[in-house]
Amino acid sequence: MSSANVPKPEYPRPQMVRDRWLCLNGTWQFEVDRGDSGLERGLRSRELDSEILVPFAPESEASGIGDVDFLTAVWYRRTVQIPQDWAGDTVLLHFGAVDHDATVWVNDVEVARHRGGFTPFHADLRGVVSAGEEATIVVRARDPRSGPQARGKQSVAYANASCNYTRTTGIWQTVWMEPVPAMSLRRPRIVPQPASGSLAVTAGLTQNLPGSRVQVSVRSDGAEVAAAEVAADLDLAPTVTVVIPEEHRRRWSIADPHLYDLLIELRRDDGSVIDSVRSYAGLRSVAIDGTAITINGERVFQRLVLDQGYWPDTLMTSPNDEALVADIELSMQAGFNGARLHQKVFEERFLYHADRLGYLVWGEFGDWGAGGHGAQDNHQQPTASFVTQWLEAVERDISHPSIIGWCPLNETHQVIHDQITVLDDVTHAMYLATKLADPTRPVLDTSGYSHRVRGADVYDSHNYEQDPAAFAEQMKGLADGNPYVNRYADQPISIGYAGQPYFVSEFGGIWWDPKHLEVSGKNRFESWGYGQRVANEEEFYSRLEGLLNVLLEDPKMFGYCYTQLTDVFQEENGIYDFNRGSKLDVPRIRAMQQKVAAYEK
């Protein structure tokens, strides 16, 4: 396959760019292993029986497979030539995401194991393959039907239903290689410090070398504006603090999403470069002021939309880079200034585009599959693996200025009783781990339902009441410090509200399906949405405006998140249809949201 025809050829890691790399997207050998007996049957060592287009999942039409049944295990195989000019360097093999349990062999040597369908991992091929040699890569991905697993919105039944969609198995994000020196830079952690006008850049190192140092230069609008360096011989994670001169300080915001370009270099004592990467950063702060969340010290009402990140023919994988940009632009055209990236760790290039377009994002984990709907007691509890996978997501995304909050869990359901449960333990673990990994952003212990961390940074609820008058009645208690709290079958499932910033992180979901969309030419899915479907388009606008006004007129409400950006298969409650086509009067919806929120006055 020529490079011009390789799907998704863009560099997949925009905040840590090296010039030399090899995209491995394209045609791979492929075989379904429904009984997970492939290792016993020799699939690791032989040619596979079909082909697939990576990085599209085998359930998707774009992959060339389109098998939507349960795929217990799948196998991939491809032989690549390691470039000769990588001589002397270590070859790293990267996987953006493989769902769910992956084992990787190169030249019949096991080089990696990874659990988790949403987060990246890599294999160090030192001693396995060198420059100029061939590498035969074999991947087995296991995706069991049962058991606790972070699935996000992937259906656990054969068919799609309600707000659960077609499954994703195996490789669904970019596969790639890069050469690195023995002493090399790890992914940088960039912490903006607007109070001092500086960027704190922590450059993780694989090892130390006497006399070595890390240098960071900062450019703005093409010109270097600041630089600093620090010794790198005694510390595996040296931090370089670069102070930006006052005349070049521009805070990242919705109105001005200014990004500084960074060059991070690891040098020997003679000045020669050992390793270098290009990155970028935004100078912005997030703070809590009583019941307010401020950005750069200002109240910004968060008009968020729930974004599921699915496409008809490619499922959780975007069709191309332009599709990621388009979803942000469609959201902004409808009057939203950000999104909850719902039940999925989005491709990192989505965050890059959010960074440069000034789009607020709450980072989230796809935790459904354990402890979610229907898991009231000890059935399908989350495991320690959830904590591991979530920390991998935070580590990947921590330096993106567009992320202004973290949400490790969503709609956990468990009635409060006398026993301390696994859900209690995991909720606390994920909250505390997030705060330790990133003390600079607010953290929501769980979005809606089973709040378990008393005094967590943020409190929220989900409310799909469709009648604006009833919705207003339910929400009015926030004024007296007694906000709407989710319950299950009229039983308590959350600890009490403690005066934190509060928002309704899911509401609306207004069911409107004027065209009853067909997907990929297949049979129609039964339409689904929240509550009573509106009778006509005018009723949609009346209902939406009534719900919005309840939240916009509440001075203690710091934001909301409307469900949702697009229809997804049978769930037809989007502002746009599943193909991102016109469904409603978008300028009219935008006008409804432009009303100045009482919170901002």
Annotated domain spans of the chain: 3-180, 195-281, 286-600
pLDDT band at 489 (very low <50, low <70, confident <90, very high): confident
Whether the pLDDT of residue 375 is over 60: the answer is no
Lowest mean pLDDT among 166-170, 303-307, 351-355, 412-416: 412-416
Average pLDDT of 556-562? 98
Q: Kindly give the pairing relationship between strand 22-23 and strand 338-341.
A: unpaired
The CATH number fitting domain 286-600, selected from 3.20.20.80, 3.50.50.60, 1.10.150.120, 3.30.1370.60: 3.20.20.80
Average pLDDT of 205-217? 96
Task: Give me the pLDDT at residue 383, please.
Answer: 84
Whether the pLDDT of residue 221 is over 80: the answer is yes
Whether the pLDDT of residue 24 is over 70: the answer is yes
Q: Which of 535, 520, 527 is nearest to 567 (CA)?
A: 527
Whether the pLDDT of residue 423 is over 90: the answer is no
- In the numeric block, the tokens 């929400």 are attached to 475
Task: Give me the pLDDT at residue 518, please.
Answer: 45
Whether the pLDDT of residue 436 is over 60: the answer is yes
**Distance (Å, rounded) from C-alpha 345 to C-alpha 338?**
16
Cβ(67)–Cβ(58) under 8 Å?
A: yes
Q: Which of 106, 86, 109 is nearest to 94 (CA)?
A: 106
Cβ(448)–Cβ(414) under 8 Å?
A: no
Dihedral pair phi/psi, residue 563, rounded to 5°:
-95, 110
Kindly provide the residue ranges of all beta strands, DSSP E only, lying in 85-244, ordered along the sequence.
90-95, 98-99, 101-106, 109-115, 121-124, 134-142, 170-171, 175-180, 189-193, 198-202, 213-220, 223-231, 239-243
Whether the pLDDT of residue 419 is over 90: the answer is no
What per-residue string of b and e applies to 225-249 under the rule 16 or more CB within 10 Å gives b?
Answer: bbebeeebeeeeebebebebeeebb
Task: Give me the pLDDT at residue 369, please.
Answer: 78
Whether the pLDDT of residue 521 is over 80: the answer is no
Task: Give me the pLDDT at residue 516, please.
Answer: 59
Q: Record the pTM.
A: 0.95
3-180: CATH homologous superfamily? Answer: Galactose-binding domain-like (2.60.120.260)
CATH 3.10.310.10 fits 195-281, yes or no: no
Average pLDDT of 322-328? 98
- For the chain, the average pLDDT equals 94
- In the numeric block, the tokens 């909250």 are attached to 431
Whether the pLDDT of residue 392 is over 60: the answer is yes
Q: Which of 410, 424, 500 is nearest to 456 (CA)?
A: 500
Average pLDDT of 135-148? 93
Task: Give me the pLDDT at residue 324, please.
Answer: 98
pLDDT tens-place string over residues 31-69: 999 999 999 999 999 999 999 999 999 999 999 999 999
Task: Give me the pLDDT at residue 540, please.
Answer: 96
**Distance (Å, rounded) from C-alpha 86 to C-alpha 81?**
11
pLDDT band at 3 (very low <50, low <70, confident <90, very high): low
**Distance (Å, rounded) from C-alpha 544 to C-alpha 426?**
36
- In the numeric block, the tokens 């450059």 are attached to 203
What per-residue string of b and e applies to 470-497 under the rule 16 or more CB within 10 Å gives b?
Answer: ebbebbeebeeeebbbbebeeeebbbeb
